[in-house]
A and B are shown apart, each in its own frame.
Chain A
Amino acid sequence: MPPTTNQTPASGPEQKSTVAPALTVRHLSVFFGGNQVLKNTSLDIAARAVTAIIGPSGCGKSTFLRAINRMHELTPEARVEGEIRLFGEDIYARGVEPVVVRRRVGMVFQKSNPFPTMSIVDNVTVGLRLNGVRQRKLLAERTEQSLRMAALWDEVKDRLHAPAISLSGGQQQRLCIARALAVQPEVLLMDEPASALDPLATAKIEDLILELKKEYTIVIVTHNMQQAARMSDYTAFFYLGELVEFGPTAKIFTSPAQKRTEDYVTGRFG
Chain B
Amino acid sequence: MTAPNHRWRNFKNAVVQTLTFACAILVVTPLVLVFYHLISRGFSSINLAFFTQLPKPVGEVGGGMANAIVGTFILLGQAALLGVPVGVLGGVFLSEYGTSKLNWWIRFAADVLNGVPSITWGMVVYALMVVPHMPGFSALAGGVVLGLMMIPLVMRTTEEVLQLVPGGYREAALALGIAKWRTIVQIVVRTALKGIVTGVLLALARVAGETAPLLFTAFGNLGWAHRLTEPIAAMPLQIFIYAISPYDDWHRQAWAGALVLLMLVLAVNVGVRFLTRDRFRQRI
Contact between A109 and B177 (Cβ–Cβ < 8 Å)? no
Segment from B58-66, B127-135, B168-176 that makes contact with A: B168-176
Q: Is B103 an interface residue (CB 8 A)?
A: no
Contact between A99 and B171 (Cβ–Cβ < 8 Å)? no
Contact between B182 and A109 (Cβ–Cβ < 8 Å)? no
Contact between A74 and B174 (Cβ–Cβ < 8 Å)? yes
Contact between A115 and B191 (Cβ–Cβ < 8 Å)? yes
Residues of chain A with a CB closer than 8 A to B169's CB:
113, 115-116
The listed residue (A71, A117, A130, A131) touching B175 by CB distance below 8 A is: A71
Chain B: CB-nearest residue to A73: B174
Contact between A100 and B177 (Cβ–Cβ < 8 Å)? yes
**Cβ proximity bits B167-192 to A, threshold 8 Å, 1 near / 0 not:** 01111111111110011001100110
How far, in angstroms, from A155 to B21 measured CA to CA in the complex? 54
Supposing A71-B171, A74-B171, A111-B168 touch, asked if A117 and B178 sit within 8 A by C-beta, the answer is no
The listed residue (A69, A106, A126, A165) touching B173 by CB distance below 8 A is: A126
How far, in angstroms, from A111 to B172 measured CA to CA in the complex? 10
Residues of chain A with a CB closer than 8 A to B176's CB:
102-103, 106, 126-127, 130, 179-180, 183
How far, in angstroms, from A116 to B278 measured CA to CA in the complex? 13
Q: Is A221 an interface residue (CB 8 A)?
A: no
Contact between B282 and A99 (Cβ–Cβ < 8 Å)? no
Which of B172, B174, B179, B283 lies at the interface centre, i.e. has the most chain A CB atoms within 10 A of its CB? B172
Interface residues of A (CB under 8 A from B): 69, 71, 74, 99-104, 106-107, 109, 111, 113, 115-117, 126-127, 130-131, 165, 176, 179-180, 183
Provide a sorted-by-A list of 18 A–B residue pairs whose CB atoms are within 8 angstroms: A71-B171, A102-B176, A102-B177, A106-B175, A109-B168, A109-B171, A109-B175, A113-B169, A113-B171, A115-B191, A116-B191, A116-B282, A117-B193, A126-B178, A127-B176, A130-B182, A130-B186, A180-B176
A69-B175, A116-B169, A165-B282 known; 6 new pairs, CB 8 Å cut-off, are A102-B174, A106-B175, A111-B168, A113-B169, A115-B187, A130-B186
The list of the 6 closest CB pairs from A to B, nearest first, reads A103-B177, A127-B176, A107-B175, A113-B168, A102-B177, A130-B178
Interface residues of B (CB under 8 A from A): 166, 168-179, 182-183, 186-187, 190-191, 193, 282-284
